[in-house]
Chain A
Amino acid sequence: MEGITKRFGAATALNRVDFALARGEVHALVGENGAGKSTLVKIMTGAYHRDEGIMSLDGNLVDFATPAEAQAAGVCAVHQEIHLLRLRTVAENIFLGREPRRWRLVDWPRMNAETRALLTGLGLDIDPQATLGSLNTARQQMVAIARGLSIGAKVLVLDEPTSSLSEREVTILHELIGRLKDQGTSIVYISHRFDELYAVCDRVTVLRDGALVATRPIDGLERIDLVCLMLGKSREALREGVTGFAGHRSHAAVASVPLMRAESLAHGTRLRGVSVDVHRGEIVGLAGLLGSGRTEMARAIFGATPRDDGAMQLDGAPFDPTTPHDAIAAGIGFVSEDRAAEGIIPDLSVRENLTLAALPLLARYGIVSRTRQTEIVTRFMERMGIKASSAEQRIRELSGGNQQKVLLARWLAMEPKLLILDEPTRGIDIGAKGEIQRLLNELADDGLGVLMISSELEELVEGSSRVVVLRDGRNVAELRGEAISEQAIIHAMADS
């Protein structure tokens, strides 16, 4: 791929990016959120069409209008969220679109037998007749890869393939990648996890803000240098801190009674007894890989997910929310990690989104006071620097950063005691990110308790006065003060 450019309206998502993939190579594609990785991959696999540049495969110019064309040419993507059919069997998923037939009728025995042979050949023990939805995510992913290979993929794009896998499953996946590589399949590997990049990849291409930064062999590239390339910082700047939390050190003195204490929360297999306490004026970081139970814990405290066991206290008194409504009444706010699915009401205005939680406070006999609503909306739009054409603009038209500010304001308007934030700065631009981080600092200084989940380690390191680390639904470490470092967190998240 040479000189690939893609624009969305006025924004340029990719600017003249070159990308070359050798046969039998595992090539890492890295960059921060918004760097253009997924856009590049989507162009490569036919989901988007480029505005400029050329693409070639095996020396022939190619031009994919649809994912189907890309697949036919041998380029196949396995996405983070698996695009397969959950209600259908493994065999059907693998052969969909090219079922073996006899007398024009689908030949089920042959389809199942061929599937079994294919899976066994890949070293996978999966029943071809099992419903896909009954398999765990890792196995579904293996099925997706098997489908790609059976179509005859020469290029396999793995987008965050390990984000929901256990360590053992990661090992299986990496073994599979090794075998595919030996067979001459080329693989584009997207991941945020450095250990994996160094374990399986040959070369790495770094993107930043839609532009190509560098393509290097991964051997001999120091991790710190890779981080510098991704962030566009020099080594020195990196040490000084890069987030809006920078320079922030100690929070208010720790009172004896915590604002909120959760003990041994348990639910199904995701939460097996996790505890945390948050004091007034404190930002407590909650770290862990996806699936570690961090999101489930946050939701359990907020009453959004039921819990089987465990106890909670708020201001020293027992606290047992069964719905978000209860938690909100007690003074807790929660910002979900999935802004589109669980945050914004897309068609409503900034005004209504911002005051959604506070409506009962603004209403008498169910009639909302427009004056008081306007007052709150104006105050918070100003204070948080929300950029919108007016309070009446639909929130879907705002940038991610501004949407997130509105969601934060939704809770701040309630004057909460505790704010639970799941990935508060994910997928928003650098400027808004810094503003939000600075705001959280100020709020904590004013006495708000904050429980912050983040997979950006620097945000945890610089923002939190304590970091609680979860793994497999259990507490595995609690770091304080100087002991908080990226290494320490990674160590606790990953080690067994």
Chain B
Amino acid sequence: MTMIFRKFGLALLLLTGMSLALAQQTLRIGIEGEYPPFNQIDQNGSLVGFDVDITHALCAEMKVQCKFVVQSWNGIIPALLSNKSDLIISSMAITEKRKEMLAFSNPYYFERAIFVAAKKSTLQITPEGLKGKVIGVQGATVFEKMLKEKYPGINVRVYTAVSDHNLDLVSGRIDAVLGSDLVMKPWLSSADAANFEIKGAPFVDVKYMGYGAGIAARKSDTALIAKVNAALEALHKNGQFDAISKKYFKDDISH
């Protein structure tokens, strides 16, 4: 009887699958995996994208092992704060609110916000013009906050991932979508988006969108951030950043 209990207890302990990390030899990188072309999961289940390539380059530069931890966007910061990951390299905008909880590296690229709607739609991108319209946005992003505060009177639909609001835009459930230009432009060139275009001009609102996208770590990990900044600097110097940037976008997005 006791043998069975002992074996069972051991099995249960092993089952909890705890891995005791003794030192920071493997960096766990939090990533969303549903934000093409920055990060996405292809049909073989492997992560690909701009953020993925940057991560590999940075880790090679910093001489550490990197392991990706895939997390949906609305849980990515809590995962970092609760020690499930060490860095977030997933196109996170550097905002004042986030800086209260996290330490950010120097920005590694800059993006602008755009509205996307059907070609035949006559949407006016003003608070009055958008009143009462149904606009889709990804949850827990700077775009969601901006939409809710800058344009009151809009019917905001919050989605878990970018592809979900794109699907609903195509099917006509929502009138428009607010998102990053670097993400929406590649989508607009795909076959599904044939009847859609950018409305109004791309814009940046520093109050909500912050100062570009950065790599995030816990507030106390300042040494780690310094290492990341140094590695990022090196990538710019030896042209690797440029190469990766040009692979996904037509030019260098760090300006």
Do A and B belong to a common assembly? no
